[in-house]
Structure 1
């Protein structure tokens, strides 16, 4: 399964009362595919506020986005949790719905060792025929899966990719030794070009909500061998890559990108507690950044 080179980790639109806004979700899917050039969408990932979505809401979102995408892009369900049994259950439900793959985050809070991580992901892969994408994000999970563990998991046929957020060094180690059909993505927008340069396949992105068309152009330029043009585009987009997360001070994802989408006329609402919307200063910074 090739999920493409530019994948958007999609936000979940809400009404003012915090309930899912299905009309806005429909418009967002069209917008990301048609205007922002997303080749696949991750539904109910961290950017989609998965920690505050119920299981029922997740399954509804998987089904709704799959039907709305209607074959125009791949749909990847964020089914990973810190419970192996619960992840297997949710993954089986997502498979029944018909999604194209699942994103499986490193278990958070439990702090398993490397063998525990291997057994966790191997157990999930054994219970589904879906392509599985691993997700290593130590800044959120407090545990980092080593390159060696990832490479061991890459030998399992339906574990087909990783979203790696530890470092470009780790991306390099994985890309150097993984099977040819195992794809390495960065989850850090600002590391996108570097990831491609060391043999990675693409980006699972947040910034692609607002600059996806230009990110797609950057990727296409690099793949075509026009490294100078790719570098120019990266440098142009770099302030947005960094600004959506740092603002005047670090701002939890997806608070900034939801505000940015609202500025662009895509009414996705705010975030659910315990996240909060940008402050007045942060809002002014994001507004200036997009201009």
Structure 2
């Protein structure tokens, strides 16, 4: 399934008491849609899913569904390292009316490839939602091997993978073996164009909070055959993409949004906000590029 070219892994806005700020969430959704996002990933890593309660995720899904009102697809982050809990949250999200589920590889438990396959297969069996696998070994410790992704792609409602391995050879190998309708999204902003060039569909982006229009233009330029112009824009945007990952995400992008007059609040522990020095460096990059 094609969810679009540029999806945004949306931050979760918090108020001064570190509770979800639904008014700012509305403002943020409108900003992202206006910036050209094709879809929203809600309560993923960037949305600080590990520190959101089950009920908070449900409330967030409900609110975003209401605000979006069918304008773009909503992919709910419903995966965890607990297979049964992932099944239950996925089923609840489906009943609410989301358009897909992002399921991360189980972190901390360290399952082998057979365990990973069985985890995703068990979740897929309990929902009709299209599922996007999320392969992020830098955070989860485990990695979906090429063969496991290809095997999972044969399950009818496992339709996509968000790949944050940074391994272009493996991504190319996946693309070479899956059916044409199985989509591969970059999970790294700085690899949007390289992955697109080997057959990837698009990006699940953090940077699109700040440079959404520019990233959408880059993707469109490449699609239209303007490779040189797309590459030039990629190089121009790269310093911002890097700066937005200068500290554990989403601390930098939350600071950047506040700098752009969308105050989404701070992050929840164990994450911490940027230091004043880090903020100065981030804002300098934002000002120098735009």
1:63-78 equivalence runs, <5 A? 63-78=62-77
Query: TM-score by structure 1 length?
Result: 0.97
Alignment of 1:230 with 2:230, yes or no, is yes
- In the alignment, which residue of structure 2 is the partner of 1:217? 217
- In the alignment, which residue of structure 1 is the partner of 2:91? 92
Residue 84 of structure 1: how far off its partner (Å): 0.7
Alignment of 1:281 with 2:277, yes or no, is yes
Residue aligned with 1:245, SS = coil
Query: TM-score by structure 2 length?
Result: 0.98
Residue aligned with 1:161, SS = strand
- In the alignment, which residue of structure 2 is the partner of 1:190? 190
Residue 244 of structure 1: how far off its partner (Å): 1.0
Tell me how far apart the structure 2 counterparts of residues 21 and 30 of structure 1 sit (CA, whole Å): 15
Residue aligned with 2:155, SS = coil
Tell me how far apart the structure 2 counterparts of residues 122 and 224 of structure 1 sit (CA, whole Å): 37
Tell me how far apart the structure 2 counterparts of residues 86 and 170 of structure 1 sit (CA, whole Å): 30
Residue 208 of structure 1: how far off its partner (Å): 0.5
Residue aligned with 2:154, SS = coil
Residue aligned with 2:245, SS = helix
Residue aligned with 2:270, SS = coil
Identify which of 233, 243, 264 aligns with 1:268.
264
CA deviations over 1:222-269 (Å, ceiling 9, x no partner): 0111101110110000111111112xxxx1000000000000000100
- In the alignment, which residue of structure 2 is the partner of 1:32? 32
Structural RMSD (CA): 0.6
Tell me how far apart the structure 1 counterparts of residues 262 and 233 of structure 2 sit (CA, whole Å): 24
Unaligned runs of 5+ in 1: none
Q: Is the 8 A contact 1:171 1:186 kept in 2?
A: no
Tell me how far apart the structure 2 counterparts of residues 170 and 110 of structure 1 sit (CA, whole Å): 24
Tell me how far apart the structure 1 counterparts of residues 6 and 235 of structure 2 sit (CA, whole Å): 18
- In the alignment, which residue of structure 2 is the partner of 1:41? 40
- In the alignment, which residue of structure 1 is the partner of 2:243? 243
Alignment of 1:150 with 2:155, yes or no, is no
Unaligned runs of 5+ in 2: none
- In the alignment, which residue of structure 1 is the partner of 2:255? 259
Residue 107 of structure 1: how far off its partner (Å): 0.2
1:11-22 equivalence runs, <5 A? 11-22=11-22
